[in-house]
């Protein structure tokens, strides 16, 4: 079969693939524990359901404007004012099919062939593939000291004459690490100085732990005009546990938003109207959901980190936010693909290989599930890889006997 060069260069999303594998195994009655998930377990806020149902009950479900319904834009403007103290107009806002499409249309709107996009390692799996889809060249930047945070100097070194944009995601998927206030401030200044687009992916910035407050990138911009190249990305997906609705948005200068809307209008048209009304309900409704979710995740993080700390040889950095943890299993198995496959095969625990996030030897473990899943999942991993663990393990009434190590 003849496929385009582009199609051949794009990898399947490893996280979505893991979801499918877990679902297939579960359907076969396998006792799978899914620590690979990228979504909270909580239910959609009731205000979102009521708002969505209100539209569905009319039976009048039609196309929306390509850049989103005016009522949703109003809710996003209000959200931006409340959480970023930034006044924007409707022409600065585009609502998309998830943060994913908001980033994708932004990249399509700013990249010419071979333009480079710089982002720190570890990175969200989709950044390199999205940059390639838009014709650009991904430039991941690794911290030489092996930490999850490259220095501003390391980022600056990766910037060359082809660089068009930088993407920063804080707190970070997969590490859970929040970049420092100084780092964000310097990043904003660096991008302004070099006239680069800065895509701030704030998808997780309400899900922070240990009394951390979100960092507002607008505090550091000096260009408050319509030439600003800051692109702020947000979505209802994670903070309201509404991943299935597929609503995200971008805030950017008017010219760029118009270009993004043109692209989106030819790609998908505006997001589905029931989903937009659900997002309106969530944004305008009672906000207790976010704090409840955040507290649950903080507790889950504590449980996961405590369990991981009990592993000899596993290095874990305590996440500042998100629902991911990114421990280093190199001392057990440096090949993260092999390790993830082994854990799935032997003890039915789903994890995501660190290689997909640009860091070999690590696994991304999600603590978005139940405490039972977290504790049992880590126990199974420990049993599978710790040579000092007992020889047998029961998964329900199934007895596993270690025939490896």
Q: Which residues of the chain form contacts with ligand PLP (CB under 6 A)?
A: 38, 98-100, 124, 169, 173, 201, 203, 235, 237, 243, 248
Which of 247, 243, 209, 196 has the alpha carbon at shortest distance from 79?
247
Q: Which of residues 38 and 321 has its CB atom nearest to ligand PLP in the complex? A: 38
CA dihedral for 353, 354, 355, 356, sign (positive or negative): positive
* Residue 37 Cα to chain centre, angstroms: 11
Q: Least CB distance from residue 234 to ligand PLP, whole Å? A: 9
Q: Which of residues 123 and 332 has its CB atom nearest to ligand PLP in the complex? A: 123
Which of 37, 32, 41, 129 has the alpha carbon at shortest distance from 357?
129
Q: Least CB distance from residue 245 to ligand PLP, whole Å? A: 9
Q: Least CB distance from residue 401 to ligand PLP, whole Å? A: 37
User: Count of CB atoms within 10 A of residue 306's CB?
Assistant: 13
Q: Which of residues 247 and 314 has its CB atom nearest to ligand PLP in the complex? A: 247
Q: Which of residues 40 and 136 has its CB atom nearest to ligand PLP in the complex? A: 40
User: Count of CB atoms within 10 A of residue 138's CB?
Assistant: 17
Q: Which of residues 95 and 109 has its CB atom nearest to ligand PLP in the complex? A: 95
Reading the block at residue 100, the tokens are 């994913």
Q: Which of residues 277 and 342 has its CB atom nearest to ligand PLP in the complex? A: 277
Reading the block at residue 150, the tokens are 């490259």
Distance from C-alpha of 348 to C-alpha of 323, rounded to nearest angstrom: 21
Indicate the DSSP class of residue 393. E
Distance from C-alpha of 382 to C-alpha of 307, rounded to nearest angstrom: 9
Q: Least CB distance from residue 350 to ligand PLP, whole Å? A: 16
* Residue 71 Cα to chain centre, angstroms: 26
Q: Least CB distance from residue 167 to ligand PLP, whole Å? A: 9
Each residue of 40-66: b (16+ CB within 10 Å) or e? beeebbebbeebbeebeeeeeeeebbb
Q: Which of residues 237 and 273 has its CB atom nearest to ligand PLP in the complex? A: 237
Q: Least CB distance from residue 323 to ligand PLP, whole Å? A: 10
Q: Give the residue nearest to ligand PLP (CB).
A: 98
Q: Least CB distance from residue 203 to ligand PLP, whole Å? A: 4
Q: Which of residues 141 and 384 has its CB atom nearest to ligand PLP in the complex? A: 141
Q: Least CB distance from residue 32 to ligand PLP, whole Å? A: 20
Pairing of strands 33-34, 349-350: parallel
Which of 357, 294, 280 has the alpha carbon at shortest distance from 323?
294
């Amino acid at each position: 079969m003849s496929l385009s060069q582009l199609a051949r260069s794009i990898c399947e999303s490893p996280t979505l693939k893991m979801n499918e594998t877990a679902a297939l195994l579960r359907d076969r009655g396998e006792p799978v524990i899914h620590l690979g998930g990228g979504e909270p377990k909580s239910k959609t806020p009731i205000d979102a359901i009521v708002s969505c149902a209100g539209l569905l009950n009319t039976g009048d479900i039609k196309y929306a404007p390509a850049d989103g319904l005016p009522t949703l834009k109003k809710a996003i403007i209000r959200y931006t004012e409340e959480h970023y103290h930034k006044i924007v107009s409707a022409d600065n806002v585009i609502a998309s099919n998830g943060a994913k499409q908001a980033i994708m249309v932004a990249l399509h709107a700013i990249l010419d062939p071979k333009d480079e996009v710089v982002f720190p390692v570890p990175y969200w799996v989709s950044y390199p593939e999205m940059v390639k889809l838009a014709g650009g060249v991904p430039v991941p930047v690794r911290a030489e000291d092996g930490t999850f945070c490259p220095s501003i100097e390391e980022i600056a070194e990766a910037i060359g004459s082809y660089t068009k944009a930088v993407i920063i995601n804080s707190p970070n998927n997969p590490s859970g690490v929040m970049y420092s206030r100084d780092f964000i401030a310097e990043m904003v200044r660096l991008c302004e100085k070099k006239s680069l687009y800065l895509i701030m992916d704030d998808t997780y910035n309400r899900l922070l732990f240990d009394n951390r407050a979100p960092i507002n990138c607008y505090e550091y911009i000096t260009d408050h005009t319509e030439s600003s190249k800051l692109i702020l990305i947000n979505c209802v997906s994670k903070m309201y546990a509404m991943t299935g609705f597929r609503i995200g948005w971008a805030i950017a200068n008017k010219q760029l938003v118009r270009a993004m809307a043109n692209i989106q209008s030819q790609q998908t048209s505006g997001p589905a109207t029931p989903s937009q009304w659900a997002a309106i309900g969530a944004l305008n409704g009672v906000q207790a959901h976010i704090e409840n979710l955040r507290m649950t995740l903080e507790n889950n993080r504590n449980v996961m980190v405590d369990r991981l700390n009990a592993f000899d040889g596993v290095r874990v950095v305590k996440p500042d936010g998100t629902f991911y943890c990114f421990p280093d299993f190199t001392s057990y198995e440096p090949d993260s693909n092999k390790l993830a496959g082994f854990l799935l095969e032997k003890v039915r625990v789903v994890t995501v290989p660190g290689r997909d996030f640009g860091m070999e030897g690590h696994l991304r473990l999600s603590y978005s599930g139940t405490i039972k899943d977290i504790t049992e999942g880590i126990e199974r991993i420990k049993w599978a890889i710790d040579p000092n663990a007992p020889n047998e393990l029961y998964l329900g009434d199934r007895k596993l006997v270690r025939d490896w190590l």
